[in-house]
């Protein structure tokens, strides 16, 4: 692990690093029902899964430094292991994706996070197989309930441009 001072002066917080922001987004959203993953859990899973994660070793402390922006240049092998762990394209963490591609990954992460909620999942699954006009009616009803609760008609950043209203 490179502990040189090369990247320390870039930022003192997560806001200064796209990698830190994206890692924090994944930690907050990509986990099974219950509590988000800890740095210790992810480090143990990656370091312990030698074949699955390419033999990469990482510590809880190093993940913490990546997430708070104190380190910003991990090895490509570690980025591949983290991408595999969180089931996202490695380009998302490398910063190789275009803004629309990165936004699409984040939309999918938000969708998966929403689907952890058993009630949300039940509503979505019950609409499968219904004719499109019935699904549209359900969407309208949900939007009306959201309006009554003083919520936006669509959840934030849900790609409303597809509705063609």
pLDDT, tens digit, for every residue of 76-128? 999 999 999 988 888 888 878 888 888 888 888 778 777 766 677 677 778 88
Does the pLDDT of residue 165 top 70, yes or no? no
Q: Which CATH class is domain 18-116?
A: mainly alpha
CA distance 81 to 75: 10
What is the percent of the chain where pLDDT is above 70? 78
Most distant CA pair in the chain, distance: 60
The confidence score (pLDDT) of residue 68 equals: 94
The confidence score (pLDDT) of residue 50 equals: 67
Ordered by start, the domain boundaries in the chain are 18-116, 117-154
Does the pLDDT of residue 60 top 90, yes or no? yes
Whether the CB-CB separation of 38 and 24 falls below 8 Å is answered with no
pTM equals: 0.61
DSSP 80-97: HHHHHHHTS-HHHHHT-S
């Amino acid at each position: 692990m490179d502990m040189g001072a090369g990247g320390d002066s870039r930022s003192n917080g997560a806001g200064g690093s796209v990698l830190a922001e994206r890692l924090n987004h994944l930690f907050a959203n990509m986990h099974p029902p219950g509590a988000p993953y800890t740095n210790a859990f992810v480090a143990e899973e990656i370091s312990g899964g030698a074949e699955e994660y390419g033999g990469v070793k990482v510590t809880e402390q190093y993940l913490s430094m990546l997430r708070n922006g104190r380190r910003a240049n991990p090895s490509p092998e570690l980025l591949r292991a983290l991408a595999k762990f969180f089931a996202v394209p490695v380009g998302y963490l490398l910063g190789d994706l275009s803004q629309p591609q990165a936004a699409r990954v984040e939309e999918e992460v938000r969708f998966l996070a929403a689907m952890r909620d058993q009630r949300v999942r039940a509503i979505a699954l019950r609409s499968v197989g219904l004719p499109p006009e019935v699904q549209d009616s359900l969407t309208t009803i949900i939007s009306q309930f959201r309006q009554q609760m003083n919520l936006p008609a669509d959840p934030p950043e849900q790609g409303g441009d597809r509705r063609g209203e």
